[in-house]
Amino acid sequence: MPHSAPTPTDIHARLEAVRGQMANAGVQAYIQPRADEYLGEYVPACNERLLWLSGYTGSAGFVVVLADSAGIFVDGRYTIQVRNQAPAECYSYHSMSDDNLADWLAERLPAGAKVGYDPRLHTLAWAERTARALSPCKLALSAMDSNPVDASWADRPAPGKAPIRLYSHAAAGANSVQKRQRVGQLVAKAGADVALISACDSIAWLLNIRGDDIPCLPVVLGTALLQTDGQMIFFTDTDKCIEALAEHVGEGVSFRPEADLATVLATLKGQRLLADPAESNAWCQQQAVQAGAELIAGADPVALPKAAKNDAELAGIRQAHLRDGAAVCRFLAWLDREVADGRFYDEGELADKLLSFRQALPEFLDLSFDTISAAGGNAAMCHYNHMNGTPAMLPNNSIYLVDSGAQYADGTTDITRTVAIGNVTDEMRRMVTLVLKGHIALDCARFPKGTSGHQLDVLARQFLWAEGFDFDHGTGHGVGHYLSVHEGPQRISKAPNAVPLLPGMVCSNEPGYYRDHAFGIRLENLVAVRRCDSLVGAEREIYEFEALTLVPMDTRLMDTQLMTAAEIDWVNRYHRRVFDAMAPQLSGDDLHWLTMATQPLTAG
């Protein structure tokens, strides 16, 4: 449902309440990020502190509250949205990348002022970096014992109480004992005695559990400590623990209330604690150091084993894509029929219709993210959300971008298709084709062991670059196994990332192009990294991608005069594979649509 926005009067009263808490704590500024204690992408309603304080619903940003003013900082994706949501009577608007926080504070605060922050909501790397930046300005970053938003939020929603769900060891391909012992060896290899596991999806993967604490992400909120021998303490709401949980996870796991975390961290004197300063919250690491522990900075040891899916996980992911592909095909077939009959809908109605096709599947559990249903010029905002305002009508003679995904017990999906609505222009076809050529180039890549996604990113951009265009998001992100739709540590991006692509990793392949106020294009399949066994005489271990997503791409938007014979052949081979996989699941008008949508392309 669309968010019910607070009024400017509401926001002003909330800011005043926070200012009262700041005065009591002796700080002259307070920084409230979007993140909660778990620092994940998704935040449950009870932890939407930034939304409560500002009305802003974007996925990135922070506010700075001063005694007589406040500023809200967002990235380039949300510059329009923030002005529509955070009232100008209460906030000034700023860029996270272009406006230096330390300078902004120095202009507004006297020397010696304290800048308050909740160390549970920020990474240790952020805290150390911000403290260094504030020091020359004679400002001090001050950790607060209690959060001023929490103390002011009278009608804060209660946390969810859904019980922990047990996840099949067979579907996971290994039981929890095996996983914890394997990761424990990695902790020892890193030179540590114990690891702080703060990513909720890492904990879910380690214990073979799932939960309903966060929309779209099937995890249980909490924090864990994992020893080198696989012994583990999971600090969570123990009311969620069911009777069969202990037997399911096996020996070596204890479940304790989250309030006990401080007590256990205080016992780590003399121990070496592995923690990721860029991903785990500052408070846990600060508490450990105060207790006399030695911090070993390193990546989450669960991340790589979780990312490189085993055979059982990959088998499930393939099955999830087969059923999800059929649901998306039914939606696209319906959409084509409606447009042909002159019936048009708004973005919200289209997203709901797509959801209905997925909900008809008995295996469907949830969306994997809020559907991006973007008509016309709205698609030029690559992370557009129709729920942040009044959904726009789908105009005729345009292109429609729909980016969506689902959670099934055997896999997570994520697909984007760009669809012709009525008659499209030659320029639209040209730009879609340039994006398609990049998608094909990345899909066809073969690369030696040790290659990172950063090294492959240019393949997807080369044809846009050659014509003077680009897109401002990554080309690919990792995807979990019935877990997070945005999973690390690998990615395909211009941003440097040295993590090599490993067999079993699932990534998106999603180049795009966005023309302001005109249209947006993105073509996204999920792919799995696999060994390339077809080469004869190869001197290196070579990898390639297997396309998992099986839904036609709109050939009405392809300009074959811009495509090589090999690219046309790729489209035809992909569409034959799509037809063979989807035809047994479709019938009637839907099967007719599939037959027409996968007709072979011929050279223009």
CA distance 509 to 475: 6
- For the stretch 456-514, pLDDT in tens is 999 999 999 999 999 989 999 999 999 999 999 999 999 999 999 999 999 999 999 99
Bridge partners of residue 373, in order along the sequence: 402
- For the stretch 271-296, pLDDT in tens is 999 999 999 999 999 999 999 999 99
pLDDT at 526 over 70: yes
- For the stretch 541-571, pLDDT in tens is 999 999 999 999 999 999 999 999 999 999 9
165-306 shares the fold of 8-152 = yes
Contact indicator for 177, 250 with CB cutoff of 8 Å: yes
Contact indicator for 508, 323 with CB cutoff of 8 Å: no
Provide the pLDDT for residue 415: 98
Confidence band of 603 (pLDDT split at 50, 70, 90): confident
Residue type, 125: A
Q: Which of 317, 314, 310, 303 has the alpha carbon at shortest distance from 499?
A: 303
- For the stretch 34-87, pLDDT in tens is 999 999 989 999 999 999 999 999 889 999 999 999 999 998 778 888 999 999
**Superfamily of segment(s) 165-306:** Creatinase/prolidase N-terminal domain (3.40.350.10)
- For the stretch 200-216, pLDDT in tens is 999 999 999 999 999 99
Provide the pLDDT for residue 423: 96
- The CATH number of the structural domain formed by 8-152 is 3.40.350.10
**Dihedral over Cα of 24, 29, 31, 32: its sign:** positive
Edge-first strand listing for the sheet containing 487-492: 446-448, 542-547, 525-531, 506-509, 476-478, 487-492
- For the stretch 116-153, pLDDT in tens is 999 999 999 999 999 999 999 999 999 999 999 999 99
| Averaged pLDDT score across all residues of the chain | 96
Helix 588-597 vs helix 311-340: crossing angle, to nearest 10: 100
Helix 311-340 vs helix 347-359: crossing angle, to nearest 10: 130
pLDDT at 94 over 90: yes
Provide the pLDDT for residue 2: 43
Q: What is the mean pLDDT of residues 576-593?
A: 98
CATH 3.90.230.10 applies to domain 308-597: yes
CA distance 446 to 449: 10
Provide the pLDDT for residue 389: 74
Q: Where are the domains of the chain?
A: 8-152, 165-306, 308-597
CA distance 413 to 243: 31
- pTM for the model: 0.95
CA distance 312 to 306: 13
Question: Quick one: how far is CA 584 from the chain centroid?
Answer: 32
Contact indicator for 506, 368 with CB cutoff of 8 Å: no
